[in-house]
C-alpha cells in the first residue's frame, strides 16, 4: 500500500479539473433530462461520481506494480466476463453489453476492459528488451487487444471496441517500430477495409458511414441525429441559450442529449464560450497526465499514464467530432460528462492509476 505522506503525493490539479468537468456534465444531464423519462439519471450520475472517487482513491493507494503483477489474472477474468455477457447480459437497443448486478444496476464489462488493457499492454511493453518492437511482439500485444475487441464487436458494440486501439497504438509508438512495419500495418489495414465493409459491418453501421459523408441523404433516418446535433450547436451562438433553455434539447429534437450527444446539448445552452471552457479543461487534464508520464519513476509507469491519456484524447476527439458532423456516429461517450456509470467508474479508476504513478515518485 502507498501512504500519502504529504500534499505533494496528491495530484490536486488533476482531480480539481476532473471534478470541474464532472460538475459541468452533471449540470447538463440535469438540464437535458428534467421532466423526461430519464429524470432519475442525474442522481445516478452523482452516485457514480462519488463511487468513482472512492475507487480512484483505493487504486491510488495500491502500488501499481502490484496491480501490474496481477494483470494477467484480471485479463483472463475480463475475457471470461465478456463471454458470459453473451449468455446473461441484458439487451438494450439491439446490443447485449450489460451484466445485471442488483437493484436494476448493470455493469458494462467492455468499459472496465479498457483499464485492464492499459495494465496488460504496459506490463508486456516494459518487458521488451529491444530498442524497437519486432513481429513477435506485435503479434502478442495485438492478440491481447484483439481478443476483447472481437468479443465486444460481437455484442455488437463497434464504438467501444475501437477505443481499445489507442491503448495499443500508444504503446507501439512509445516503444518504437521500424517504418517498414508501419507500412505493412497500413497495407493490411487497407486490405481489411473492404472485407469489413462486405463481411462484418451490419446495415445500420454502413448507413452511419454513408450518412457521415452526406447526412441529408436520409434526414429523417440515419442522418437525423447528426443534423439535429449540428442545429443544436449552431443555436448556442457565442454565449448560449442558458441552462434548460435550449430549443433542440428541451423540445426533444436532439436524441440522447445526456449520453452520446451531451456536448451538442451543452453547446446549445452554454454557447461557444462554454465549449471553449470545457475543451480547455480537457486539454489541462491531458497535459497533467502527460506531465505525470514524464515524471514517472519507471518505463511501465510512463506507459500506463500515456495509454490513459491517449485513450481519453481519442474519446474526446471522436465524440466532439461526431456532434459537429466531422466523425461518424459511433456511440463513444464523452469522458466524465456523458451519463453512464460504467464509463464514469472506469475513467476515475484510470485517473486513480495515474495518481498512483505520481505518488510512487515520492516513495523511497
Residue 7: pLDDT band (50, 70, 90) is low
Whether 324 shows a pLDDT value over 60: the answer reads: yes
pLDDT at position 129? 81
Residue 2: pLDDT band (50, 70, 90) is low
pLDDT at position 360? 82
pLDDT at position 1? 55
Q: Reading across the β-sheet that carries 90-92, which strands appear in turn?
A: 90-92, 95-102, 105-108
What percent of the chain has pLDDT above 70? Answer: 96
Q: Which helix (H) or strand (E) holds 140?
A: helix 135-153
pLDDT at position 9? 73
Q: And the C-alpha cell for 22? A: 464532472
Which of 136 and 222 is assigned the larger pLDDT? 136
SS3 sequence of 38-64: CCCHHHHHHHHHHHHHHHHHHHHHCCH
Whether 202 shows a pLDDT value over 80: the answer reads: no
Which of 199 and 26 is assigned the larger pLDDT? 26
Cβ contacts of 30-34, under 8 Å, gap ≥ 24: 31/243, 31/244, 31/246, 31/249, 31/265, 31/269, 32/249, 32/257, 32/258, 32/262, 32/265, 33/257, 33/258, 34/244
- Are 315 and 338 in contact, with CB atoms under 8 Å apart? no
- Note if the bond before 156 is cis, omega within 30 degrees: yes
Which of 238 and 197 is assigned the larger pLDDT? 238
Q: Which of 51-65, 126-140, 287-301 has the lowest mean pLDDT?
A: 126-140
Amino acid at each position: 500500500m502507498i501512504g500519502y505522506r504529504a500534499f505533494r503525493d496528491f495530484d490536486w490539479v488533476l482531480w480539481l479539473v476532473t471534478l470541474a468537468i464532472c460538475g459541468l456534465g452533471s449540470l447538463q444531464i440535469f438540464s437535458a433530462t428534467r421532466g423526461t423519462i430519464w429524470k432519475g439519471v442525474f442522481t445516478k450520475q452523482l452516485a457514480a461520481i462519488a463511487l468513482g472517487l472512492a475507487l480512484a482513491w483505493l487504486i491510488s493507494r495500491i502500488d501499481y506494480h502490484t496491480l501490474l503483477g496481477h494483470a494477467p489474472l484480471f485479463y483472463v477474468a475480463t475475457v471470461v466476463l465478456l463471454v458470459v455477457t453473451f449468455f446473461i447480459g441484458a439487451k438494450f437497443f439491439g446490443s447485449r453489453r450489460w451484466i445485471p448486478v442488483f437493484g436494476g444496476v448493470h455493469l458494462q464489462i467492455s468499459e472496465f476492459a479498457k483499464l485492464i488493457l492499459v495494465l496488460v499492454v504496459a506490463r508486456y511493453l516494459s518487458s521488451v528488451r529491444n530498442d524497437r518492437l519486432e513481429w513477435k511482439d506485435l503479434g502478442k500485444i495485438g492478440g491481447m487487444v484483439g481478443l476483447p475487441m472481437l468479443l465486444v464487436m460481437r455484442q455488437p458494440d463497434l464504438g467501444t471496441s475501437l477505443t481499445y486501439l489507442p491503448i495499443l497504438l500508444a504503446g507501439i509508438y512509445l516503444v518504437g517500430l521500424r517504418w517498414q512495419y508501419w507500412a505493412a500495418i497500413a497495407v493490411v489495414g487497407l486490405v481489411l477495409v473492404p472485407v469489413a465493409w462486405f463481411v462484418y459491418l451490419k446495415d445500420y453501421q454502413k448507413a452511419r458511414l454513408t450518412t457521415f459523408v452526406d447526412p441529408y441523404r436520409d434526414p429523417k433516418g440515419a442522418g437525423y441525429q447528426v443534423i439535429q446535433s449540428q442545429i443544436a450547436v449552431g443555436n448556442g451562438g457565442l454565449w448560449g441559450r442558458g441552462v434548460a433553455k435550449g430549443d433542440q434539447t428541451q423540445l426533444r429534437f436532439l436524441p440522447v442529449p445526456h449520453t452520446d450527444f451531451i456536448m451538442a446539448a451543452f453547446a446549445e445552452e452554454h454557447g461557444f464560450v462554454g465549449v471553449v471552457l470545457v475543451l480547455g479543461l480537457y486539454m489541462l487534464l491531458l497535459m497533467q497526465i502527460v506531465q505525470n508520464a514524464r515524471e514517472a519513476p519507471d518505463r511501465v509507469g510512463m506507459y500506463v499514464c500515456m495509454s490513459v491519456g491517449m485513450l481519453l484524447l481519442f474519446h474526446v476527439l471522436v465524440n466532439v467530432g461526431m456532434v459537429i458532423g466531422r466523425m461518424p456516429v459511433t456511440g463513444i461517450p464523452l469522458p466524465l460528462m456523458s451519463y453512464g456509470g460504467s464509463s464514469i467508474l472506469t475513467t476515475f479508476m484510470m485517473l486513480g492509476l495515474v495518481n498512483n504513478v505520481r505518488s510512487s515518485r515520492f516513495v523511497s
